[in-house]
């Protein structure tokens, strides 16, 4: 009889929990730290997530200062449940970022446009709507459970004099607000506090390449037969690119240089070539690209490897080789005569 009584009590407790959960319709999200389901809009809805600092990111837009540096944080997998009784389209809209220090800010990466959103300049917080950034993340449909993935970042300000963000650092807060059919639902906000799990060590100094001026390379007139399909180094026409580095504060350190650009359609080691003689414009040429080499090693665009270079008393230099390369199916028909151009960016990061 005692065992039966315990079972009945357990069932009754479970019934009460389910009834309480559904008593107030809304969006409920799981707080991993406490194991509680929090209703967004029930007072000050706040949770803490621990995140791992990863690699440096190169956003296409959003930097308030071109010298600010962005590092990825591990994704936040937010488990949420929709108990609203209507069939509206619910989303989480990113509505505010608040920093905790004047050295760095939490950020949110809009992966659809590769835009970083953070509190830049002298701002302690930033509302993305002020710059017309509308970033919605889908929430589960009515009476369903789902996982929403958020992509936070940390942005190191150029002005910081420190070179480490230690593990356990409270970076700041990202705020999200429930939207229904793209309309903000006032008072239904969720604040997510970000705390790091590992150290971020970086060089706070700023370095430039060739005095931060664009570098132009002219291949002249090239015959199709002069371009190799095996390696740019086998092409008859190559060019040397002399690079001179200058860093602030006369640092002596190893630095990493990465090549950023659009890969060609036929090779991940070649930068995309386009028609015309205006940089960054024209139609992509499917069977032609440009390769970059350092010490006979090809530099793949957007690779995290890049190459390391020595900076001594604030100065350094390197010589790269640039060469055209074609696909194995290139011919005079699919590789017509005319001007072509290719663009890429060299970026300094920590080794």
CA angle, corner 342, sides to 337 and 343, nearest 5?
A: 165
Is 40 or 280 the better-scoring residue by pLDDT?
40
How far apart (Å, rounded) are the C-alpha atoms in residues 319 and 28?
Answer: 57
Report percent pLDDT > 90 for the chain.
54
State the span(s) of the chain assigned CATH 2.60.40.1090. 21-202, 207-349
The verdict on pTM exceeding 0.85 is no
Predicted confidence band of residue 351 (pLDDT cuts 50, 70, 90) = low
How far apart (Å, rounded) are the C-alpha atoms in residues 212 and 190?
Answer: 42
Token pair for 39: 């209703």
Residue with tokens 């530099």: 299
How far apart (Å, rounded) are the C-alpha atoms in residues 247 and 224?
Answer: 41
Q: What is the mean pLDDT of residues 101-118?
A: 89
Q: Give 7-32 pLDDT, tens digit per residue.
A: 333 333 333 333 344 468 999 999 99
Is 252 or 43 the better-scoring residue by pLDDT?
252
Beta bridge partners of 194: 49, 172
How far apart (Å, rounded) are the C-alpha atoms in residues 2 and 8?
Answer: 10
For 98, other C-beta atoms within 10 Å of its C-beta total: 17
* 339 burial via Cβ count (<10 Å: 0-12, 13-18, 19+): exposed
How far apart (Å, rounded) are the C-alpha atoms in residues 49 and 77?
Answer: 10
Burial 146-176 (b: 16+ CB within 10 A, else e): eebebbbbbbbbeebeeeebeeebebbbbbb
According to CATH, what is the number of the domain 21-202?
2.60.40.1090
Beta bridge partners of 51: 196
Select from 213, 348, 223 the least CA-distant residue to 288: 223
Predicted confidence band of residue 58 (pLDDT cuts 50, 70, 90) = confident
Predicted confidence band of residue 63 (pLDDT cuts 50, 70, 90) = confident
Predicted confidence band of residue 290 (pLDDT cuts 50, 70, 90) = very high
CATH of 207-349, one of 3.40.120.10, 2.60.40.1090, 1.10.10.10, 2.30.110.10: 2.60.40.1090
Residue 181 scores a pLDDT above 90: yes
Torsion of CA 229, 230, 233, 235, to 10 degrees: -30
Token pair for 215: 């570098």
| Contact yes or no for 150/137 (Cβ under 8 A) | yes
Predicted confidence band of residue 152 (pLDDT cuts 50, 70, 90) = very high
């Amino acid at each position: 009889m005692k065992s039966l009584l315990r079972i009945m009590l357990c069932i009754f407790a479970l019934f009460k929990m389910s009834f309480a959960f559904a008593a107030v319709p809304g969006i409920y999200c799981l707080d991993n730290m406490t194991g509680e389901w929090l209703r967004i809009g029930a007072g000050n809805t706040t949770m803490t997530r621990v995140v791992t600092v990863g690699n440096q990111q190169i956003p296409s837009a959003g930097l308030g200062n071109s010298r600010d540096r962005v590092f990825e944080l591990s994704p936040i997998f937010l488990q949420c449940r929709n108990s609203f009784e209507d069939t509206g389209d619910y989303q989480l809209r990113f509505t505010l970022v608040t920093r905790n220090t004047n050295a760095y800010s939490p950020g949110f990466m809009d992966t659809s446009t590769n835009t970083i959103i953070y509190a830049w300049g002298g701002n302690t917080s930033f509302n993305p709507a002020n710059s017309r950034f509308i970033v919605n993340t889908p929430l589960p449909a009515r009476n369903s459970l789902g996982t929403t993935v958020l992509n936070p970042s940390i942005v190191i300000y150029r002005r910081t004099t420190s070179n480490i963000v230690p593990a356990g650092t409270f970076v700041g807060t990202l705020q999200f607000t429930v939207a229904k059919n793209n309309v903000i639902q006032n008072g239904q906000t969720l604040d997510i506090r970000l705390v790091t799990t590992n150290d971020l060590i970086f060089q706070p100094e700023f370095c430039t390449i060739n005095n931060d001026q664009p570098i132009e390379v002219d291949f002249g007139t090239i015959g199709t037969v002069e371009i190799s399909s095996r390696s740019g180094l086998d092409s008859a026409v190559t060019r040397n690119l002399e690079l001179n580095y200058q860093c602030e504060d006369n640092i002596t350190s190893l630095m990493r240089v990465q090549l950023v650009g659009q890969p060609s359609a036929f090779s991940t080691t070649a930068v995309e070539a386009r028609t015309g003689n205006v940089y960054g414009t024209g139609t992509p040429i499917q069977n032609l690209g440009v390769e970059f080499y350092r010490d006979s090693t090809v530099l793949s665009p957007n690779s995290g490897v890049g190459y390391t270079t020595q900076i001594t008393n604030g100065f350094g230099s390197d010589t790269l080789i640039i060469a055209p390369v074609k696909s194995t199916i290139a011919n005079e028909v699919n590789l017509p005569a005319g001007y072509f151009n290719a663009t890429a960016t060299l970026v300094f990061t920590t080794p």
